[in-house]
A and B are shown apart, each in its own frame.
Chain A
Amino acid sequence: MTGDTQPSGRILDARLHLLDHQVLDRDDVPVMVVGDLELEDAEPGGPAPYVTSLVTGPVLGARIFGGRAPASRWQRLPWRLVADVGVVIKIAADAESLDLAWVERWVRDQVIARIPGGRHGP
C-alpha cells in the first residue's frame, strides 16, 4: 500500500473481490451484481480510498460502452449494509427493503403476480 498510515478497515482488491460479484441478501436472495463502486478520498497515488457504496444499474452500460452514467441514476447500496465479502457479498438486510429492488418489485406487482399461480410455490 502507498502512504505511511494504514487505512482503517479491510483492504480489498476492487476488481478481484468486489466488481462483478454477486450480492446476496440475508436470506440468500440475489440482489444485484456490483457494477461499479463509489469511492471517497480517491486521488491518484494517494492512500487507498474508502468504498462508500456499491453501485448497479445504468453504470453497467457505461462500463461496457464507455462514458459515464449520470450520478442521479446510480442505484446505490451503502457499504454499511455489507456483512461479509467472500466469493459472494452478503448484506445484512432484506432485498425487499432496498430502493434498488424497485424494478423487480414493479415486474412482480404489474406482471407476474397478476398471472394465476404467480404467488404460489411450484
Chain B
Amino acid sequence: MNRAAAPPTVSRRNASRVAAPTCAVLAGMICACAVLGGCGAQAGRADGERAVIAVGDHLDEASSAVATAQLALESVRDGLLPAVTADATVGRAVESVTAAAHDLAALVPPAAARDAVQGRLTAWDAVADGVAAVAQARVALGADDDASLSDAIAELDDAGAALDDAASRLDAASRLRETR
C-alpha cells in the first residue's frame, strides 16, 4: 500500500461523530461563572426579613462550631480521641465560629426593622461568648488536666445553651411579627 485515496466527499457513515455547539456552551459557562462570582460576595445590607433569617443562620453556624468543640473535648476527657486530633478539630471550629461572628458583624439590617436590629444585638452576645468558649477549649486541651477540661466543657455547654436561647428568642420575635 503505497498511497491511499480518500473520497472527496465526506461519508455518511460517521454519524457517531457529534458536532459540538462549542461556542454556545462555552459562553454559557462563562456567564455561569460570572453569576457565581456575584453570588459569592455577601451583601452587607439586607431588608428586615432577610436580615432576621441571616442572623438565624449565623447563630446555627456558631452553635454547630460550639457543639463540635464540646464533642471533641468530651471525647478527649473520656479517652476516646487523641488531644492532637482534637486540637486540629477545635482549631477548625475556631475558624467557623469566628467566621459566623464576622458575618454577623458585617450584617447591616435596616434601622426600621426593629426585630432584626434587636435580634442581631442579642445574637452578638451569644456568638461572642461562643467564640470565647471555643478559644478557651484549645487552652484546656493544651493544659491536659481533667479539671480544666471539665471547666472548658461546662463553658462550652453554657455557650451552646445561650446560642440556642438566642435562636429561639429570634424565632419567637419573628413569629410575633408575622402574626401582627
Contact = CB atoms under 8 A, between A and B. Distances in A.
A15 B8 contact: no
Interface residues of A, number: 31
Interface residues of B, number: 14
Interface in A61-90: 64, 79-80, 82, 85
Nearest to B6: A14
Interface string B1-39: 111111110110110010000100000000000000000
A49 B6 contact: yes
A105 to B, nearest CB: 28
A44 B3 CA distance: 20
B1 A10 contact: yes
Contact of B11 (A9, A15, A85): A15
Interface string A74-113: 0000011010010000000000000000000000000000
Contacts of B2: 8-9, 79-80
Q: State the majority secondary structure of interface residues on B.
A: loop
A16 B2 CA distance: 19
B3 A48 contact: no
A42 B8 contact: yes
Contacts of A11: 4-7
A49 to B, nearest CB: 6
Nearest to A18: B6
A85 B4 CA distance: 10
A1 interface: yes
B5 A13 contact: no
B11 to A, nearest CB: 5
A2 B3 contact: no
B8 A51 contact: no
Interface in A1-58: 1-2, 7-16, 18, 37, 39, 42-52
Contacts of B5: 7-12, 47-51
Contact of B6 (A37, A43, A46, A80): A37
A44 B8 CA distance: 7
Contact of B8 (A16, A46, A52): A46
Contacts of B22: 64
Contact of A48 (B1, B6, B13, B14): B6
A14 B9 CA distance: 9
Contacts of B11: 13, 15-16
Interface of B: 1-8, 10-11, 13-14, 17, 22
Task: Name the 4 nearest CB pairs between A and B, nearest first.
Answer: A48-B5, A14-B6, A7-B5, A9-B3
18 contacts: A2-B7, A8-B3, A9-B1, A9-B4, A10-B5, A11-B7, A14-B7, A15-B11, A15-B14, A18-B6, A45-B8, A47-B5, A48-B6, A49-B6, A50-B5, A51-B3, A51-B5, A80-B2
